Amino acid sequence: MKKYLLLGLTFISAMASAQSLVSYNLIKTYSTGQIDSVLSANGIPPLFLPTTYDIDIYKVVYNTLDADSLPIIASGALFIPKNNQCKAPLMSYQHGTISVKTAVPSTLNSLEVLIGETSASDGAVVTMPDYLGLGDSPGLHPYMNAETEARATADLLVVAKEICSDLGVVLNDQLFLLGYSQGGHSTMAAHQMIQESYGNYFKVTASVPMSGPYDVSGLQAQTISQNVEYPNPGYLPYFLLAYNSVYHIYASNSDFLASPYDVTIPPLFDGTHELSEVNAIMPSIPNQILVPALLDSFNTYPDYRLYKYLKLNDTYNWKADAPIRMFYCEADMDVNYLNSFVAYDTLTANGSVSVSKFSSGPLLDHSGCVFPSLLSAKAFIDSFRLDKLKFTFDITNCSTPFASDGSVTVHASSGFAPYTYLWSNGTTDSTLSNVPLGFYTITVTDATGCPNTTSVFVSVQVGIEEVFAQQTSVTPNPMHNFSTIQFPEAGNYSVELSDATGRLIMNENFYGDKYILLRRNLSSGIYYLKMKQEEGVPFIKMIVAE
């Protein structure tokens, strides 16, 4: 009786010390210009990931639970926008495979921290867990263990809310989850755990798992069951050593790793070696490192013990109450793209609210799939965000190029009504009336003081001239050094270039059927070309400078 009482008290004590904040320390402050410079240095046009706010980055140390439900220290990074005028959503990004303890978000020694930096500069409060066994957390990282991935994610979010309260950062109760590769697996697991066990803290608004190995016991287990080459064979010993550490399946490494791999591989997972070092001593066919008896049992007996633990870490067999959108690439040889199909079919069959899957490119491999997936994930998440006011317009174009009979009505959504309006000409109503041809900027502010600004163009009602505009091409677009404007016929033309706010940058007249537009000192962004032939009707084309 005393034994069971002691165990019960131990468990209660462990739960009490879970998800508690140990410390948080400011480790970096970035201006928007510095973030743009970092993006450019990594070959990412800032246009694709716009920066609005300077940010503060904190290292967070907190308590969570390990795979045995015992207290353990974990660490992660917290990215907070400075001087945000809007109530911010919470967002958690789960990183991909890391084998070096210090190459984690909380040290800023990971390229993936760019996601936290840009998302915070875009107005979200972002957490990035290091996971157990990485960063300040002791021991071997329990690689691909769904429970600890999910709990490390959820508990960091809990303490992040406490930190935001300390710092006076106001949140809007939305929560978004996203992650790539292992982070896709973690995202799916975290969504399920938060929905089922963290309802007192959060409700997931939407999640975006990308190129994740959700079907651990099926598609991903083919690296064990099949004699096939694999681009990163080091993944196999990583998760076998991790699973043996968590589940105590085998008495020693020699029970599942064949000689000499039972001696040469385990030391490379001490947290100081890159996965490339493991790959270098691995055969190209990963299952050749396994003890033949294990391989035979795995392929022969459906209830073999290793298979049972793989099945425990599948992350798709549940019912989601919030939207999930998965992205994948068909040429991904690291994570079979059919993982997304298995997850989609099962989640849908289970009655999930809204599950979708999209290809980010049929010819892209695992690395190439990252950026387009992230851009699509951002667009999906932005469609839900309350702090991003969304606009639609009803536009009546002017009857002639010289008339002032155009009008625009803006319709705002998202955010919190009622809204206030301020047009660039001083009008404070949702409708702008009796205006001439041109650009007009509108700033809409919701009831919480959260603003958004965009521009709209009032054009001219056209007929046959529309054909002329369609036959005029601007290439290349996006522009790097120059673009060529090709008109359907030679003539006298005027060409005006304006930025997205309507500011005139260039106005030139010329004769011919071709005009070379030099980039000169244009910064990256969206621009508008207004073109007109002699007394014809002006028309507009958008051009992007990268």
* Stretch 101-126: mean pLDDT: 96
Query: Can you tell me the distance from the alpha carbon of 269 to that of 256, in angstroms, rounded to the nearest whole number?
Result: 16
Residue-wise pLDDT tens digits, 440-482 = 889 999 998 898 888 788 877 655 456 677 788 888 888 877 8
Whole-model pTM over 0.85:
no
Architecture of domain 465-545: Sandwich (2.60)
CATH 2.60.40.3080, the chain: domain bounds: 465-545
Residue-wise pLDDT tens digits, 320-347 = 999 999 999 999 999 999 999 999 999 9
- Nearest CA among 173, 23, 164 for reference residue 80: 164
Residues in the chain: 546
* Superfamily for the 17-214 domain: Alpha/Beta hydrolase fold, catalytic domain (3.40.50.1820)
Place of tokens 């609210």: 353
Q: State whether residue 149 is helix, strand or coil.
A: helix
Q: For Cα atoms 469, 471, 473, give the angle at the middle one, nearest 5 degrees.
A: 90
CATH 3.40.50.1820, the chain: domain bounds: 17-214
Residue-wise pLDDT tens digits, 121-142 = 999 999 999 999 999 999 999 9
CATH 2.60.40.1080, the chain: domain bounds: 390-458
Residue-wise pLDDT tens digits, 40-78 = 888 877 666 778 899 999 999 999 999 999 999 999 999
As a whole number, the mean pLDDT across the chain is 91
Provide the token pair at 72: 């353990």
pLDDT bin (cut points 50, 70, 90) of residue 539 is confident
pLDDT bin (cut points 50, 70, 90) of residue 11 is very low
Q: In the CATH hierarchy, which fold is given to the domain comprising 390-458? A: Immunoglobulin-like (2.60.40)
Residues 6+ apart with CB under 8 A from 149: 94, 131, 182, 185, 186, 189, 190
Q: State whether residue 455 is helix, strand or coil.
A: strand
CATH 1.10.260.160, the chain: domain bounds: 222-311
Report the pLDDT value the prediction gives residue 528, as an integer from 0 to 100: 86
Query: Can you tell me the distance from the alpha carbon of 28 to that of 57, in angstroms, rounded to the nearest whole number?
Result: 5
DSSP H or E segment with residue 526? strand 525-533
Report the pLDDT value the prediction gives residue 467, as an integer from 0 to 100: 62
Residues 6+ apart with CB under 8 A from 132: 64, 66, 67, 72, 74, 139, 141, 142, 148, 152
AA letter at 295: L
Residue-wise pLDDT tens digits, 406-416 = 999 999 988 88
Report the pLDDT value the prediction gives residue 462, as an integer from 0 to 100: 57
Residue 243, strand partner residues:
none
Architecture of domain 222-311: Orthogonal Bundle (1.10)
Residues 6+ apart with CB under 8 A from 471: 487, 488
| pLDDT exceeds 70 at position 435 | yes
